[in-house]
Structure 1
Amino acid sequence: MTASAPTVPSVIVIPAELIDAHEDDEPEWLAALPALVDDYTARWELTRTGAVLNGAASLIVPVVRTDGTAAMLKLQPTNDENFHEALALRTWQPDDVVGVLEDDPDTTTILLERLHPRMLSDLPDHVEATKILAELLGRLSAVPAPAELRRLSDLAAELVEDAPGLIPDLADPAEQKLIQRFADQVRELIPEAGDRLLHWDLHYDNVMAADRQPWIVIDPKPLAGDPAFELFPALNNRWADLRGTGDLHQAIRDRFDLMLDVTGIPRDRALAWTAGRILQNVLWDLEDEESEIDPVQREIAAALRLG
């Protein structure tokens, strides 16, 4: 009997950005990536068709299914943010989000439809891009969240709990007072934090072009909560477009107002939850031993007269 040839594992060149993102917290996942790619390409009968790509926290492998369908195999270390990604994508209206072809809930590995390599951030007109983003946000956040998703109310309660221990690390007493006011506002929001299916990270790079629809949403971090929590990423991205208008604060307010006009989100809740998003980011930065508010977020707070 002739012995079978040994299986040769795939050679995967892991992108440097992915190594930087995970080498401290997920070294075992990084080391296992070649074997994981082999496992899922065999399990789902896929053929690799190009060099690997990456998101901020995931490896993306271009593949083709046995029926000739082009797809993307997405591998990522499992965490609270991505655990229900496939569930969320299947809950929203199919016309608005990338399609899930296969998924493994145990590892959050997903086989997704292949979209065009063009993002909403590539659209030259940032006002038109914001209008498109707001229209998508309005449709996504109209959908009730599945019961098993984590809730904004719990996340907000954690922020309020963590704030007193971290805010004193801000070097500027005025910034300490501002962020404490944000924490006080968030405390008041917790009892009515909402139950809609939120994306959490809906910005211009998380919307891609497709054939079946002009623009398709990708990469959710699902959360059940108030749609007003969703506005901040649009303000925090395509920043050069805002600076290029000549009046930064007015440009921020114009973008914010456009989002409100399109979505119908109440202004008072939009302002309060935007302050909550800044609180969240500041606390994250303080955990990373920063000692001041990020300048972009400081400008957003000033333009919207938060706090």
Structure 2
Amino acid sequence: MRLPEHDASTCTLLLERLERLDETRLPAGLPDAREAVLVIAGLLARLTAVPAPAGLRRPGDIAHAMLEQVPWALARVPDPADRRPVRDCAAAVREVLPEPGDRLPHRDLHFDNAVGSDRADRPAIDPKPLAGDPGFDLLPALDNRYDPGEVRRRFDALTGVLGLDRERARAWTLARVLQNCRWEIEDGRPLDAVQLEIGRLLRR
């Protein structure tokens, strides 16, 4: 989405108006989910090509807070089989904490947030930006239109198009899984089976 004008003194933004077009032109409406993932990958590659502006929250800060809460969270997961992927996610996150990255992840680029457009630079809506590693952006493209048989193929496509180090991207993707699991635990809900399965599929 473009920002034609802004006024810093009043914090006023003039944003581009986007019309919701034919659903078949959204990634969510593409019959081939693999094609939809490549659309997301190309958009993420463009969005994360520049450093984030100063002052944004960092995934590293979020990860530190999550890791401190892991013992508390594990004590509230009754099934030992579910505790293992949570532990594995935490272990992967610890490995990348020293290098949180400096790009501009969208953070919520699922298939409905890449708007159909005639422009070459397809707009992305509803960002929740951070300053960090692009790997923190991959999970929505893995769990939208979820297919367990496609998780690794999608992960390979995303990391290939974005040119990411696979192990770092894996760790930051597992950070998102850990974050989602923590939210479920905090709200007193069972852990989401899709999130747990993605965590298991991305384990080494």
Query: TM class, shorter-chain normalised?
Result: 0.7 to 0.9
Q: In the alignment, is residue 272 of structure 1 matched against residue 171 of structure 2? A: yes
Relative contact order higher in (CA < 8 Å, ≥ 6 apart): 2
Which of the numbers 188, 198, 202 marks the counterpart of 2:105?
Answer: 198
Which residue of 15, 19, 33 corresponds with 1:115? 19
Specify the alignment match of 1:151 in structure 2: 58
Could you list the per-position Cα deviations for residues 21-72 of structure 1 after superposition, in whole angstroms to 9, with x for gaps in the alignment? xxxxxxxxxxxxxxxxxxxxxxxxxxxxxxxxxxxxxxxxxxxxxxxxxxxx
- Answer whether contact 1:167 1:283 (CA < 8 A) is retained: no
Q: Distance in 1 between matches of 2:105 and 2:115?
A: 18
Cα distance between partner residues in 2 of 1:289 and 1:102: 44
TM-score (norm 1): 0.60
Partner of 2:82: 175
CA shift, 1:126, in A, is 1.3
1:188 to 1:209, Cα distance in 2 relative to 1, 3 A: same
1:184 is aligned to 2:59: no
* Corresponding residue of 1:287: 186
Structure 2 CA distance for aligned equivalents of residues 222 and 114 of structure 1: 19
Q: What SS does the corresponding residue of 1:135 show, helix, strand or coil?
A: helix
Larger Rg: 1
Residues 162, 102 of structure 1: CA spacing in aligned structure 2 closer, same or farther, 3 A cutoff? farther
- CA drift at 1:200: 0.7
8 Å CA contact 1:153, 1:190 repeated in 2: yes
How many angstroms apart in 2 are the aligned matches of 1:186 and 1:110? Answer: 38
- Greater share of residues in strand: 1
Q: 1:199 and 1:108, CA in 2 relative to 1: closer, same or farther beyond 3 A?
A: farther
Q: 2:201 maps to what in 1?
A: 303
Structure 1's 174 and 108: CA in aligned 2 closer, same or farther, altered over 3 A?
farther
Pick one of 107, 120, 126 that aligns with 1:213: 120
- The total of aligned residue pairs comes to 200
1:100–1:113 contact (8 Å) kept in structure 2: no
Unaligned runs of 5+ residues in structure 1 are 1-97, 243-247
**Number of the residue aligned with 1:227:** 134
Q: Report the equivalent of 1:131.
A: 38
Closer, same or farther: CA 212–271 of 1 in aligned 2, 3 Å: closer
Change (3 A) 1:214 1:190: closer
Matches within 5 A, 1:97-116: 98-101=1-4, 111-116=15-20
Report % sequence identity: 45
Q: What is the identity, as a one-letter code, of the residue corresponding to 1:301? A: G
SS at match of 2:31: coil
The partner residue of 1:164 within 53, 57, 71 is 71
Return the alpha-carbon distance in structure 2 between the equivalents of residues 219 and 168 of structure 1. 34
Q: Structure 1: how far apart are the matches of 2:155 and 2:193?
A: 18
Distance 1:216 1:186, change over 3 A: same
State the match for 2:161 in structure 1: 262
Q: CA RMSD for the aligned pairs?
A: 2.3
Q: Confirm or deny: 8 A CA contact 2:85 2:200 kept in the other structure.
A: no
Alpha-carbon shift at residue 218 of structure 1 (Å):
1.1
Contact 2:85 2:199 in 1 (8 A): no
- Distance in 2, matches of 1:104 and 1:253, equals 44
Deviation at 1:122, TM superposition (A): 1.2
What amino acid does structure 1 have at the position aligned with 2:16?
Answer: L
